[in-house]
């Protein structure tokens, strides 16, 4: 079977990662920030999968599974925090929350 060159996979992962990063840096709505984070995580996962198929090693797949669980946990905690945030501050705009200023 003709395989996709692993460079293509990695480029796609990089593009996804940068998209997510730009989302994290530019969005003010915390829900979108969380979604962008998910994209970044999945970009990393994609890179792992590509690498594991390139070298015929199972560790990459294992790492992807770990990332998957991590992302699930993160979403659970993150959404919980967002709900708390909305309850307390009545906003989902993260730039409003800068009380930790030094």
Number of residues that bind another protein (CB under 8 A): 11
Residue 84 CB, shortest distance to another protein, in Å, is 16
User: Quick check: 99 binds another protein (CB under 8 A)?
Assistant: yes
Between residue 10 and residue 39, which ones bind another protein under the rule CB under 8 A?
21, 24-25
Residue 33 CB, shortest distance to another protein, in Å, is 8
Cα–Cα distance for residue pair 4/2, rounded to 1 Å: 7
DSSP H helices in the chain: 6-26, 30-55, 59-89
Cα–Cα distance for residue pair 60/50, rounded to 1 Å: 8
């Amino acid at each position: 079977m003709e395989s996709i060159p692993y460079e293509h996979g990695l480029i796609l992962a990089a593009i996804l990662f940068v998209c997510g990063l730009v989302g994290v840096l530019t969005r003010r709505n915390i829900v979108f920030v969380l979604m962008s984070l998910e994209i970044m995580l999945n970009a990393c996962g994609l890179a792992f999968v590509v690498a594991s198929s390139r070298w015929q090693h199972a560790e990459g797949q294992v790492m992807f599974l770990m990332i998957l669980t991590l992302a699930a946990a993160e979403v659970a905690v993150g959404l919980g925090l967002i709900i708390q945030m909305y309850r307390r501050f009545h906003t989902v705009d993260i730039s409003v929350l800068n009380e930790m200023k030094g």
